[in-house]
Amino acid sequence: MSPSTRRQVVFVAVFLVIVLFFMLTFRLSIVDGDSMLPTYHSGQIVLVWRRGPFCPPLRRNEVVLVRQAREVIIKRIARLPGEPLGHSFPDLQALAFRNGLADYYEQHIVQTSHGPQVELTVPKGYIVVLGDNLAVSEDSRVFGPVPEKDVLGVVVNSPPPPYTSIRP
């Protein structure tokens, strides 16, 4: 085999390894709906890092693809396992009680200046997700916490939320 042919074979082999790595590690996904406006628009294509053994742990405010019922949805992580739902905007704890979802969360009695109160926390192995467009998004306020195993991937280089209230 001539040196020129050998270089071409090596180039093609390296190219195929890179393509295979990309296909196994990343996926392209199309945003469907307005629940992530203004961050993402319907029809927009996002690059998603597939969840796998080499993925870092999930972090609050990351945008993720989640399997919910028979759909794949795109949402932002609002709470992680063990975190309290809290009373910030939106008041996730009040919404959980109002929507009949409180049983999906761990319940603890805490002492406050107003006496003992129930505090809801996200169970181990679950996360709470919200859409950036809170007015139209169907998210954990509607269907409760999401199993971490249902997170398909993390959107690469996602911008911060359009609101600053996604803190516990």
Burial of 58 (0-12, 13-18, 19+ CB in 10 A): middle
* Identified catalytic residue from 2, 35, 140, 165: 35
Q: 131, 139 in Cβ contact below 8 A?
A: yes
35 in catalytic set: yes
**Pairwise CA distance, residues 55 & 32, whole Å:** 25
124 in catalytic set: no
Closest listed residue to residue 158, CA positions, set 89, 88, 60, 82: 60
| Active site (catalytic) residues | 35, 75
